[in-house]
Amino acid sequence: MKYLNKDKQIYKILQNELQRQKQGLEMIASENYTSPAVLEAMSTVLTNKYSEGYPGKRYYSGNQFIDEIESLAIERAKKLFGAEHANVQPHSGTQANMAVYLALLNPGDKILAMNLAHGGHLSHGAPVSFSGKFYKNAFYGVDKKTEQLDYKEILEIAQREAPKIIIAGATAYPRQIDFKKFREIADSVKAYLMVDMAHFAGLVAAKLHPDPIPFADVVTSTTHKTLAGPRGGFILCKNFLAEKIDKAVFPGIQGGPLENTIAAKAVCFGEALKPAFKKYQEQVLTNAKVLAQTLINNGLELVSGGTDTHLVLLKLNNLGIGGQQAEEILSKVDIYTNKNLIPFDTKKAFDPSGLRLGTPALTTRGMKEKEMKTIGNIIAELLKNTKDIKIQEKAKKQIAILVKQFPIYKEIKY
C-alpha cells in the first residue's frame, strides 16, 4: 500500500483488521472472503464515475466503458442464474428488497414473510424497518415440533391475510425451501412471489439448492455471502417486470451506482460460472453437515435437528447460557459467530437463545471434514464449560495452529 500507508491511522486499523481476519475462524454464516480479484476490482478508478441510468441510457457523458462493465455484470448474472433480467445496481440486499416493494406495492399493501424470530429478515416487514412502517405485514413461521416450514399453514395464513406479495427466503433457516409450493400458495391468493436468496445464492448458482428462478416473479440477493463476492445486492426478474424494477432502483431509491462494486460483482459472477465454484459449494454443504453432526454428537441441540444448507442454528437453552455469552466466549478465542433468535424464543434479540454458525468462509480457506470435526468439538467444549479458562486457553492455541495451516490473502501485504 504505497499511498494508504501515509494515512497512519486508517492504515494501522486496516492492518489490524487483516490480521483479525487471518487469525480468526470466520463462522458468521453471512460472511465470506472474496477473491483477490474481487478486492482489486473494488479499488479501481471506476469509483470516480457518475453513471446514473443504465447501459446505453445515462445521465452523464463518458460512460462508454462503464456501460461495458455493467453490461458484463448483467449478462453474467443472467447466465449464472438463468434469469430473464438482472439489475446489478442495488447497494445491498435491503436496497434490492426496497426496490422490489417500490416497484410492486403501494404504501399500505401487505407483505407476508417469514417471522424474524423464525429466521426471516428485518427488511421483510419487521416493524422496526421501513418495510414494516410503509407496508402492512403478516408473518409465517416454522412448525413448533419440526422447526421446519409448514406449507399448509403458510397457505392458511396467506388466505386469511390476502397479501400483495409473499416473500420466501430467510437468514437463519437451516433447511431448503420449496419454491414450487410457495408459487402455488402465491397463485392461490393472487400475490406476487419474491424470493430473497441472499443466504443461499451460491448454492443456487451451483445447483445444490432448489432454484427459485422458475417460480418467483422477482428474486433478490446479495453478492457477499455464499456467492463470495463484494458487499452488494442484485435483483433478477421476469422480463415483464424489468422496466418497473429498473425504475424502482434508479431513480426510485438510489442515485449513482457504485461501478467499482459492479465490476467486482461481474468478477464474482465470472468466478461462480467456473467448475471450481460447484466443488466449493459442495464442500460448504458437506462441511455444514459434518459440523452439525459433531455438535449433535457432543450433546448439543440444533434447530430442526440439522441442516441441508450452509448454516446451523444452535439452541443454547439446555446449556444455561444465552447467545450473547456464547458469542463472547467464542470470539475471545478467535471464533466469530453471531447470536441469533430461535423459533419461539422467549428471550430478546440482544441476548437470544441461539447461536448461528456457517461454513462458507471456513470452506473458502480450504477447510474440510476433518477441520469441521475439530472445530465442532472445540465449540462444544467451550460452550459446555463457559467458566473454564484453561479450556479457553487451549482452544485459542488450537485455533492459532489451525488458521496457519489454512492461510488467507497470502499475497496481500498491508
Interface residue with ligand DSN among 30, 95, 293, 353 (CB under 6 A) is 30
- Fill in the per-residue mask, 42 to 81: x = in contact with ligand DSN (CB under 6 A), - = not in contact: ----------------------------------------
Q: Does 294 bind ligand DSN (CB under 6 A)?
A: no
Q: Does 129 bind ligand DSN (CB under 6 A)?
A: no
Distance CA 389, CA 332 (A): 11
Minimum CB separation of residue 66 from ligand DSN in Å reads 27
Residue number with CB closer to ligand DSN (93 or 163): 93
Distance CA 233, CA 316 (A): 32
Q: Does 281 bind ligand DSN (CB under 6 A)?
A: no
Residue with cell 480468526: 24
Q: Does 339 bind ligand DSN (CB under 6 A)?
A: no
Binding residues for ligand DSN, total number by CB under 6 A: 5
Grid cell digits, residue 345? 424464543
Residue with cell 405485514: 137
Q: Does 93 bind ligand DSN (CB under 6 A)?
A: yes
Minimum CB separation of residue 194 from ligand DSN in Å reads 15
Minimum CB separation of residue 243 from ligand DSN in Å reads 27
Neighbours of 363 (CB within 10 A): 27
Q: Does 171 bind ligand DSN (CB under 6 A)?
A: yes
SS3 29: coil
Closest residue to ligand DSN using C-beta atoms:
30
DSSP assignments along 117-162, one per residue: GGT--GGGT-TTSHHHHSSEEEEE-B-TTT-SB-HHHHHHHHHHH-
DSSP assignments along 268-327, one per residue: HHHHHTSHHHHHHHHHHHHHHHHHHHHHHHTT-EEGGGS-SSSEEEEE-GGGT--HHHHH
Minimum CB separation of residue 142 from ligand DSN in Å reads 17
Catalytic residues: 50, 52, 196, 222, 225, 231
Minimum CB separation of residue 363 from ligand DSN in Å reads 17
Distance CA 277, CA 1 (A): 30
Residue number with CB closer to ligand DSN (171 or 304): 171
Q: What phi, psi does 295 have (nearest 5°)?
A: -65, -40
Neighbours of 411 (CB within 10 A): 5
Residue with cell 480450504: 366
Q: Does 121 bind ligand DSN (CB under 6 A)?
A: yes
Residue with cell 397479501: 163
Distance CA 317, CA 324 (A): 12
Minimum CB separation of residue 44 from ligand DSN in Å reads 26
| Side chain identity at residue 76, one-letter code | R
Minimum CB separation of residue 196 from ligand DSN in Å reads 9
Residue number with CB closer to ligand DSN (171 or 261): 171
Residues found in the chain: 414
Distance CA 119, CA 199 (A): 11
Angle between helix axes 151-161 and 179-188 (nearest 10 degrees) is 30
| Side chain identity at residue 12, one-letter code | K
CB 245 within 8 A of CB 236: no
Interacting residues with ligand DSN (CB under 6 A):
30, 93, 121, 171, 198
